[in-house]
Each structure stands twice: as C-alpha cells, then as structure tokens.
Amino acid sequence: MGDKKRIPESAVDPRPENKPFYIEPNCPKCGAELVLLDTLLFPSKPQNQIWHDEFTCPICRDGIYIDWPEEMELDIELQKLFIRIDQKKKTLNANRPLPPEVVENLREFFLVDWTYNSNAIEGNTLTLLETKVVLEGITVGGKSLREHFEVVNHKEAILYVEELISNQEPLTEHIIKQLHYLILKNIRDRDAGKYREVNVFITGSKHVPPMNSLVPPRMRELVDWLYSDEAGDLHPIERAARFHHDFVNIHPFVDGNGRTGRLLMNLLLMQNGYPATVIKNATRHEYYKALEKASVDKDYNDIITLVAEEVENSLDIFIKALGKDNEG
C-alpha cells in the first residue's frame, strides 16, 4: 500500500463548482463524484499535509483505495500549483484597478527585468544595471551595437504586446511576424519578420526543427491549435507554456526565436489576466532542459511547471507591492 495516496477527508461535500481534477468518476458505494481536494480549498488543513494510502468518501464515509501512477502524481502537483496561483490571481484582481503609482513602478521593474533576462538567455552580456541604463537612452562603453539594439528592440516589442492586450487583439501569424520584426530590426533586417528559408539545427539539442518548407504549414497549425477546443480546455498557463514550446520547436525564424517565443508566451498569459512573467537567465539550463524534454520525450510537465512557478513569482511581486498577504 506504499504506492497509494490518500485524498484527505472533509466534513462537507468537497465537490466545488469548478472541479480542479478528477481522481475517480464515482464512489463505488454511493456514486458520489470524487475530486482532488487541495489545502487551499480547506484552509484548516496544514500546508505540509501528508498524503496517505486510503481515503474515506466524504458523503457515505466508505473507505476507498486508489492506485496513483507516477505520472498522475506529477499532474496532481502541477494542478495544486495552478490552484495556488489562481487563488493569488483572485487576490490581485480583487484590488483592481491598481493604484497608478504601483502600476508604473511595476511596469518599469518588469520592463528592465524581462528585457535583461530574455536577452541574457540568448548571450547578451549587458548586466541588469547596464540594461536599465540603455533603456534610459544612455550608451554603455565596451558593449556592442547589437547588444544595445537588442535592449531597445525588446522594449519596443514589449510596448507592442501591451498595445495588443489593450486592443484585445487575437494572436495571428501577422502579429508573430511583427513581434519578430521588432526583435531583429537594425540587427538582421533581411530576416526580420520573415519565416526562415533555410534549414537550421539547434546546438546541443537532439531535436531537429522541421525543414524550412514545412514552417508555414506548421505555424498555421500552431495558431489554429491555439483556438481549438483542445487548447481551450487547458489551464491558461499550460496553454501558454505549450504554445511557447511548440513555437521554439518549429524554430520558424533564422534568429530571435527564443525572445519572440517568450514574448508570445507573455502575450497569452497577460491576455488571461496574469502579470508579465520572466524566465530567469539564472535558470536557463533548467529552461533548456525542460524544452528539450518536451521536444524529445513529449513530456511537457517540466516546462509547464517552470512557467507556472515564474507566474507565481510575478504574482507575489504584484501582491507584495500592494501590501497584501501573498498567500491569497
């Protein structure tokens, strides 16, 4: 019985209106629907609660034993993370509209942090402080013109993302190309905003992107998937993380795929009410490993978890700026 897990008991019917996760369709005795119970739904439960071997149906009190496969345990941990994140999102939404001074301070913080980290992941050597200086219009000695343009371009791309959100624009291939154009202009003008016409390989990866002739149909399929019932049934964070992976997997451009992909991920997240989310340069190795795992093993769990954890970090920053309890 050591391989089995327990759903903790509750004195009330645990079936919330929005069921977060089914473990079994029905109790074999009374037929009650059984769902995952999270400590957030029952605040009296301790945060470090142990999951045991068996559980009791909260309706008829009958004892039930269930085997939990390893992959399901991973799904459950991720689902619990989603629940915690959405509790924090509710806390943030309850305080909207945010005070103008808070909005401006957070916007400036994320503009610098997002630009620095996304560029650093791709090899830009400007420090966080130097990135801030360049964003203020000052040239940093000893740094290349390209590195300066990467900072300025990324700021412009973020402003474009904000404009798209304000106008409630649905994501299209045209928008993807426009974002990429903003990232590469004055750096590789010939390739900016254009799908690649050559085959490419990703250094250090077992994954080989599709041939250049397959890029246009693959990109059409990706955008179509985004608006499909399948994608619509996913949690917004999972949908954004999967889209990000699949985009960089296609590698539709000669250069600038990573930065463009992270901008697109944020566009999808922010359209769903989440704050800007920054993949940290300090965790780039974990980030690349998670992308590789999804590409080679078709296991998205690590990349979804990594993105979700960064979403939670951003929510914590927003809630702390408001002086609120970040436990939701």
List binding-site positions for ATP.
Answer: 255-262, 287-288
DSSP conformation letters of 213-229: GGHHHHHHHHHHHHTSH
Query: From CA 258, how far away is CA 260, in angstroms rounded?
Result: 5
E strand or H helix at 123: none
Known catalytic membership, residue 207? no
Cβ contact 292:207 at 8 Å: yes
Q: Enumerate the β-bridge partners of residue 74.
A: none
Number of other CB atoms surrounding residue 26 within 10 Å: 12
Distances (CA, A) of 68 to 23, 43, 54, 230, 276: 9, 24, 11, 25, 35
DSSP secondary structure code for residue 4 in this structure: B
Residue 324 in tokens: 């609120």
Helices (H), the chain: 70-93, 100-121, 128-135, 145-166, 173-184, 215-226, 229-232, 236-250, 257-271, 284-297, 301-321
Distances (CA, A) of 175 to 169, 225, 267: 9, 16, 11
Active-site choice (154, 244, 251, 285):
251
Residue 50 in tokens: 């142990």
Query: From CA 274, how far away is CA 161, in angstroms rounded?
Result: 14
Contacts of residue 228, Cβ cutoff 8 Å, sequence gap at least 6:
none
Residues annotated as catalytic are 251
